[in-house]
Structure 1
Amino acid sequence: MAKKKHLKIFIVAGEESGDLHGSKLVHAMKKHVANIQFTGHGGNRMANENVQIIEHIDDLAIIGFVEVIKHLPHMFKVMGTTVNWLRENNPDRLILIDYPGFNLRLAREAFQLGIPVTYFILPQVWAWKEGRVSILRDSVDQCLSIIPFEQEWFENKGVKADFIGHPFIELEPPKQTIDQFFSTHNLNHDSPILTLLPGSRQQEINRHWPVYIKAVKIIKSNISNIQVIVGKAPGITLPNIPDFIKIEENDPQLTMCYGDAALVASGTATLEAAVLDIPMVVSYRFSLPTWSFAKKMATVPYASIVNLIANEIIVPEFIQSEMTPENLTNAVIPLLNKTSERKKMLLGYEKVRRTLGMPGAYDRAAEAIINRL
């Protein structure tokens, strides 16, 4: 490592999951290097690790083709501000975390400025818009992967990628015991618990929540003693909540630790659920323009990262028009009991977990980056 009095890092995360990974990475890097200063875009978790936040994720988390178009002026402004900062401050390295719509463009700008780039949690170009892999090949000098099959895929495309393991293999233990959790939400041990994870962005909630509510009402008509709890992401609003649905606002992970089965929006939470061993049904709805675009561009057979890692259907998926209350109900009810479907899914989870590597992903990522400074 270069002997400098002060190291400057610019780090970019554009959504909740990236903020979590960014905060853990920063924490790990500071364990190894004391004289390091972080500036960038992120959320409250990164701010708590003393990252100087320029743009908050609340203003960056955008999904969907139409939604992106609507926010283009703001995103162009953020890009301009970011590039100017890089030009004026010349950091020792730029660290990009997922968020490919913005970060791949920023990688090219940084390359033109002669700033070395680490990409931690790589864009899923193997799923759609494969042509973007050229940006990683030409503008990024360090690619750190957390998905088991990515290393081989990227290297076949001329991109050296190092698999460091998946951080979810070392999820922190629950902050509450099961008794504390049940007491907090007035739950009982004798009735099944259905967990709802409708998404972490308001656009997702707006499309998913009405379907979830209808499904839950059907489920309750079949299982009268069902208990239902929502793992609510920060900053979202859940409208028209039936009185019997409980809300966990502080730590959505607890609802996966102590639920019996879950309805989960496709995304990062599906792998977290698999690691925590809660059977699930995966679903997702895009806006119609985004769906039309995605259907043409997608190149993978599954939506859920769990099924993609396993390369087979471990968890049922209901995407777009297939995401109906009836489909969700019929798929999740067997998972609430000790059925063959539940047992088969849990065995599939074991197969997935074995591919995720050993604990210590953030430390390995931190050491790999520090070795480039």
Structure 2
Amino acid sequence: MSESLRFDMRPFRILLIAGEPSGDRLAAELVEQLRPRLIELGAQPTPETLPRRTALPPEFFGAGGRALRQAGAELLCDLTPWASIGLFDVLPRLKHYYRAFRQLYQAAVERQPDVILGVDYGAFNLRFAAAIRRYLRRRQDWFHPWQPVLVQFVSPQVWASRPGRAAQMERTLDLLLSILPFEPEWFAHHAPRLPVRFVGHPLVDRWPVGASSVHRPSTAGAPRLVLLPGSRPDELRRHGPLLAATWRRLRQRWPNLEGRCVVPDPSLVPMLRQTEWPAEVPVEAGPAAPALCRADLALTKSGTITLECALAGLPAIVFYKTAALTYRVGRHLVHVRHLAMPNLLAPEPVYPELVQDQATPERLAALIEELWLDDARRLRIREALQQVRARLGPPGACARAAEAIVECLRRKPTGLPVPATNARVLPAATLARAA
């Protein structure tokens, strides 16, 4: 068989970009769901004399972390150590984003994947998808038939901040996989030509019914507290001292207070301990679920972890601190009343929120004490959290996401792969905006 025909019969190639620990885990779960479906798709008969695909295992490559590597993907770069929020936290890391953006862009053009899949990490992934779309518009003709499916799994929160980004998503993406129930309707009004599929929230699979906290009151008369400072180095630098000071105040109130802290990655443990962390509070690295199931109350930064608290049925106090300039800019850009997702999904806010200057050890400690002494209030919170869970959809989010991606591949126009071309290096200004 000629070289060109053997090149033609290649497995599916999927480029994934996950830039945060939570996205890395989600990308790994999606790979496990995609792999058998893509093998099955490649094995399906076609009317062609010489099939363009085989039933070989698909190739996954791109950016991710430990979980994606363990799922069998080839990692070209790891963005998870540089995860940050806000312009002024991003600026010192621009060179890392620039290098990763260029490396991934060149790999995409040279290896021509069938799917380019952004997993969360919207600021980077939307810019990357737009750069690929521009390349395709310049090069798409009979002799350059590469037509990848551009997919974003987990929408950036454009409904909360900078809604104009929806128009860019409409021009760029072939499919948006939504994990929040209100997003399809929002996009139907703001980007009606963008295909949006609500697949449910992946956290539901990690929290099956009956796996939440038992909520037996502590026999010591003090709450069992779980401290959740975040997953990014910048968050630990700001939240570590805040939680340590809050813990010391609570220990004055309850000398027999029990507590533990959870961070997602072992590399964050020494960083947290450098913040005058109290020796009596153990720091665990890994999933938060075991600690949530043993706790009575949580002190948690805002973000996805608040949904884990909700699925655990755990009452919590939510806080967040960021760079002062980032906060000032964000106040003018963010158009939702709450940061914690359970507060947006429930009929009424369920978790108190303290942001920026409001987040002080005194106020956090006072709220914990109020919540622990009010049994009826904790019961109402748990009842409200059951409604939050119901809105997140049934289990199987990654399976439904994989099926939607495969359906896109079935429908897309196909063409013969072309020999690798040298990727045009994008202007520095374009690459720098990847942050």
Q: Structure 1 length normalisation: TM-score?
A: 0.92
The structure having more radius of gyration, on CA atoms, is 2
Q: Secondary structure at the residue paired with 1:343?
A: helix
Say if 1:250 and 1:169 are closer, same or farther in 2 by CA, change over 3 A. Answer: closer
Q: Secondary structure at the residue paired with 1:71?
A: helix
Distance in 2, matches of 1:4 and 1:324, equals 61
1:222 pairs, out of 227, 250, 253, with: 253
What pairs up with 1:106-255 in 2 under 5 angstroms? 106-114=128-136, 115-158=148-191, 159-171=194-206, 190=220, 192-234=223-265, 235-236=267-268, 237-238=271-272, 239=274, 240-255=276-291
Partner of 2:84: 62
Task: State the 1:130 CA deviation.
Answer: 1.4
Aligned length: 362
Distance in 2, matches of 1:173 and 1:311, equals 23
Moved runs in structure 1, 4+ residues, more than 4 A? 188-191
2:352 pairs, out of 297, 312, 316, with: 316
Q: Secondary structure at the residue paired with 1:67?
A: helix
Partner of 1:333: 369
Post-superposition CA distance 1:243-280 (Å, at most 9, x none): 22122224332111111100000011000110011110
Distance in 1, matches of 2:293 and 2:323, equals 31
Give 5+ residue unaligned stretches, structure 1: 179-187
Say if 1:279 and 1:19 are closer, same or farther in 2 by CA, change over 3 A. Answer: same
Distance in 2, matches of 1:349 and 1:193, equals 19
Q: Structure 2 length normalisation: TM-score?
A: 0.79
1:96–1:103 CA contact under 8 A, matched in 2: yes
Post-superposition CA distance 1:124-179 (Å, at most 9, x none): 111112111112100001011001111111111123311111111121579x999x
Say if 1:173 and 1:308 are closer, same or farther in 2 by CA, change over 3 A. Answer: closer
Task: State the 1:288 CA deviation.
Answer: 0.7
Say if 1:124 and 1:13 are closer, same or farther in 2 by CA, change over 3 A. Answer: same
Task: State the 1:113 CA deviation.
Answer: 3.3
Task: State the 1:116 CA deviation.
Answer: 2.1
Partner of 2:300: 264
Give 5+ residue unaligned stretches, structure 2: 1-7, 40-56, 137-147, 410-435
1:12–1:41 CA contact under 8 A, matched in 2: yes
Residue identity opposite 1:357 in structure 2: G
What is the RMSD of the two structures over their aligned residues, measured on CA atoms? 2.2
Distance in 1, matches of 2:9 and 2:336, equals 45
Q: Quick check: 1:47 aligned with 2:80?
A: no
Partner of 1:88: 110
Residue identity opposite 1:153 in structure 2: W
Distance in 2, matches of 1:123 and 1:219, equals 36
Q: Secondary structure at the residue paired with 2:348?
A: coil
Q: Secondary structure at the residue paired with 1:12?
A: strand
Partner of 2:3: none
Paired-residue identity, %: 31
2:212–2:293 CA contact under 8 A, matched in 1: no
Partner of 1:79: 101
- More divergent stretch after superposition (52-61 vs 363-372): 52-61
Say if 1:194 and 1:74 are closer, same or farther in 2 by CA, change over 3 A. Answer: same
Partner of 1:23: 28
Partner of 1:284: 320
Bigger relative contact order, structure 1 or 2 (CA pairs below 8 A, ≥6 apart): 2
- More divergent stretch after superposition (243-252 vs 14-23): 243-252
Residue identity opposite 1:362 in structure 2: C
